[in-house]
Amino acid sequence: MKRRLTALALALGLTFTLAACGGGTGGTANTPSNNSESPAGNSETPVAESDMAYVKEKGTLVVGMTDFKPMDYKDENGEWIGFDADMAKAFAESLGVEVEFIEINWDNKLMELDTKGIDVIWNGMTINDEVKAGASVSEPYCRNGQVVVVPADKAEDYQTVESLSGLNFAVENGSQGAAQLDELGLTYVAKTTQADALMEVASGASDACVIDLLMAGAMIGEGTSYPDLTYTVQLNDEEYGVAFRKGSDLTEAFNTFWKEAYDAGTVMETATTYGVQESVIEK
């Protein structure tokens, strides 16, 4: 009897030992799997190695933009064209997906990107500290500046920053133009788009507006939609970039695409079509 109990005890002990070893081995086997997932949950690289797969799986690259000639605007058929729009189409094609353009509230651009309402901000976006803190930003591709637009017959009176005091401005909400006016302590009414800000000045509702230099070159002056407007003071110098989600692998894909498109002549050919070739940064 004693011999049977001893054998039983040994068997039970062996069983518990094996169970414990099995549990330990299972935990170790799961560790690499957990570690492999950790980069996606890292706050610095939340979508690393997954953003391109996400876009390819759904089959569309959703571009967040505003009506901003010559970068993004609609032709007579209602199709989005422009330097940025055409290059966005080419980038989407290089990924093997369709492109979809969505007009956004520019002040909410980073929120739209973070919540996956859009996949990229591509709309003559100025690279600044706010954008760099909230998104993964491409290498710069265009030079730009913020300029003051006034009626042509009043341009001589507003040739310096100091002369702008007392003017009532219109400016796109959340734009770099608004940031410049805030810095100067000048008052303004916030509009949804830069095009709306231009209309404010053209109608006489505002004395002046601040818009992107590239837009001014395409939209105001002789032979344009606003022949009686001109720009005077340039408030700053800046560069455009394209923004993806933090840690997105699409950023590097874009940089590679852009360099190849530049070397192939596609970038400059497209830029020349829309009159922005002088602003393109050499690669």
> Which residue shows structure tokens 């009626």?
151
Rg of the chain over Cα atoms, rounded to whole angstroms, equals 28
Q: Is the dihedral of CA 217, 218, 219, 220 positive or negative?
A: positive
CATH architecture group of domain 51-143+239-279: 3-Layer(aba) Sandwich (3.40)
Distance CA 63, CA 7 (A): 72
Q: What is the chain's pLDDT, residue by residue, as a tens digit (283 residues)?
A: 434 434 434 344 434 343 444 433 333 333 333 333 333 333 344 444 689 999 999 999 999 999 999 999 999 999 999 999 999 999 999 999 999 999 999 999 999 999 999 999 999 999 999 999 999 999 999 999 999 999 999 999 999 999 999 999 999 999 999 999 999 999 999 999 999 999 999 999 999 999 999 999 889 999 998 999 999 999 999 999 999 999 999 999 999 999 999 999 999 999 999 999 989 999 8
Q: With b meaning 16 or more CB within 10 Å and e meaning fewer, what string describes 35-46?
A: eeeeeeeeeebb
Q: Within 10 Å of residue 47's Cβ, how many Cβ atoms? A: 22
**CB contact at 8 A, 61 and 100:** yes
Task: Give me the CATH topology for the region 146-236.
Answer: D-Maltodextrin-Binding Protein; domain 2 (3.40.190)
**CB contact at 8 A, 36 and 72:** no
Q: What is the pLDDT of residue 230?
A: 97
Q: What are phi and psi of 276, to 5 degrees?
A: -115, 15
Q: What is the pLDDT of residue 253?
A: 97
Going from N- to C-terminal start, the domains of the chain cover 51-143+239-279, 146-236
Distance CA 178, CA 121 (A): 19
**CB contact at 8 A, 172 and 194:** yes
Secondary structure of residue 83 in the 3-state scheme: helix
Domains 51-143+239-279 and 146-236 share a fold: yes
Directed axis angle between helix 83-95 and helix 250-263, to 10°? Answer: 110
Hey, what are 167's tokens?
Answer: 């003017």
Distance CA 191, CA 200 (A): 9
